[in-house]
């Protein structure tokens, strides 16, 4: 009882001192649990929002309900929120506004429209879907005849499945900007753009991003109003391949930070990605996230290897080496379920299952929560993009040079939930 009173006191202090981080309806806290208690209680199978493991403790973002469940089970936890407040975004900002140099949804739309205007013929902004709150989901197509329906290999780079991961918006956006601004200056860029379609979707989750900017910085999901009064679906658990495979890689509880939704592609944000991906000859996909400096490839839902594991591992290893060559930043790489934790219904598993396309989740810096977690310093945006640039160029070139038909001869199992939703001949049986 004394421990619970102390935790309640700590929570009250956090709310009083940091109202911008914790709004009145109190979404949750960063808490840590002893690794031994975490394992003994089987919490790894509960679909919790895991942040990291360090010095014998496991860190999670816990909702009020999850904290109550921990207390009811007499699992001691420590509120850690005050340790991980934003850095580099306080006070005045070179970028202006409460999100500083990071882009809001309106700012991204404005920037994309400007690129389209300034690079006629090379850039085309397309509305690929609409969020729950009626915000547009935009894709930037970059090609030598961007307004035409070309029969060229395509590569997809996406950001912001998870609202709080602001840096994941910047890297794909800056990649598109780089390609357009260097088309006339760099022959390799020109050759790549002339021979392919590069598609950039900087913000898959616009509602969540706006909520993270204006209300609660740690918000992760979209803004679905769930039937139990909670909000949000983790849209990176809402794709069709192995959706709902188990309750460790996602959760069926609406209040969970990894809630998978009511069915595969139940959310308009994932449906928008599905429509875009199925309409083009995508030969590679990257979904940017943060944090941990890792390059992850399928499978996420199981520790069993994917049929193309050797190729995925080789490509990821090359990308890791190219990133390190810029300024020494080390990105580990490997199968998602082994290197990080299991997930089901995620983006990379789905795109790989559909087309055999090399598909990667790149977790951007920092390496852990002690180095900033989701709160990257604004001054680091350019450096993070620059070190990822050679890897993105390499993957795009690799995808163009390696047609997919040879991969489609390798069977990739597709679960019936995905097949029933997608209903396309592109599914690899």
Catalytic residues: 363
d(CA 249, CA 256): 12
**What are the φ and ψ backbone dihedral angles of 78, each rounded to 5 degrees?**
-120, 130
Number of other CB atoms surrounding residue 91 within 10 Å? 6
Q: Is residue 97 a contact partner of residue 378, using CB atoms and an 8 Å limit?
A: no
Number of other CB atoms surrounding residue 1 within 10 Å? 5
Per DSSP, what are the bridge partners of residue 32? Answer: 59, 78
d(CA 154, CA 135): 25
Per DSSP, what are the bridge partners of residue 290? Answer: 364
d(CA 296, CA 294): 6
Q: Is residue 350 a contact partner of residue 428, using CB atoms and an 8 Å limit?
A: no
d(CA 427, CA 429): 6
Residue 29, both tokens: 């806290």
25 Cβ neighbours under 8 A, 6+ residues apart = none
d(CA 242, CA 231): 23
Short-list 238, 208, 236, CA closest to 222: 208
């Amino acid at each position: 009882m004394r421990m619970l009173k102390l935790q309640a006191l700590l929570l009250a202090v956090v709310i009083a001192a940091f109202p911008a981080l914790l709004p009145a309806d109190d979404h949750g806290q960063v808490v840590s649990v002893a690794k031994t208690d975490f394992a003994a209680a089987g919490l790894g199978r509960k679909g919790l929002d895991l942040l990291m493991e360090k010095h014998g403790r496991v860190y999670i973002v816990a909702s009020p309900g999850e904290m109550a469940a921990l207390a009811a089970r007499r699992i001691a936890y420590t509120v850690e929120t005050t340790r991980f407040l934003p850095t580099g975004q306080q006070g005045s900002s070179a970028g202006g506004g409460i999100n500083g140099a990071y882009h809001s949804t309106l700012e991204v739309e404005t920037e994309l429209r400007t690129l389209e205007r300034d690079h006629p013929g090379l850039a085309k902004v397309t509305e690929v879907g609409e969020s729950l709150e009626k915000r547009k989901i935009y894709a930037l197509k970059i090609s030598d005849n961007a307004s035409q329906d070309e029969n060229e290999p395509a590569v997809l780079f996406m950001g912001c499945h998870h609202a709080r991961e602001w840096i994941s918006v910047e890297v794909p956006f800056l990649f598109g900007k780089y390609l357009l601004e260097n088309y006339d200056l760099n022959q390799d860029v020109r050759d790549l753009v002339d021979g392919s379609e590069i598609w950039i979707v900087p913000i898959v989750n616009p509602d969540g991003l706006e909520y993270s900017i204006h209300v609660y910085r740690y918000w992760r999901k979209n803004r679905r109003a769930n039937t139990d009064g909670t909000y949000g679906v983790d849209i990176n658990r809402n794709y069709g391949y192995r959706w709902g495979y188990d309750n460790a890689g996602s959760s069926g509880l609406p209040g969970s930070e990894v809630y998978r939704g009511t069915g595969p592609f139940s959310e308009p944000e994932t449906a928008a990605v599905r429509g875009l991906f199925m309409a083009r000859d995508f030969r590679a996909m990257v979904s940017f996230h943060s944090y941990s400096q890792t390059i992850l490839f399928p499978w996420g839902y199981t520790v069993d290897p994917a049929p193309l594991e050797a190729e995925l591992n080789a490509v990821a290893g090359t990308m890791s080496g190219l990133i390190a060559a810029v300024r020494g930043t080390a990105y580990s790489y490997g199968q998602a379920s082994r290197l990080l934790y299991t997930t089901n219904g995620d983006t990379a598993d789905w795109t790989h299952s559909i087309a055999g396309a090399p598909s990667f989740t790149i977790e951007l810096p920092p390496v852990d929560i002690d180095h900033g977690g989701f709160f990257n310093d604004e001054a680091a945006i350019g450096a993070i993009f620059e070190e990822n640039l050679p890897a993105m160029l390499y993957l795009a070139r690799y995808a163009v040079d390696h047609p997919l038909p040879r991969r489609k001869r390798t069977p990739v199992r597709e679960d019936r939930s995905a097949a029933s939703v997608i209903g396309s001949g592109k599914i690899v049986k």
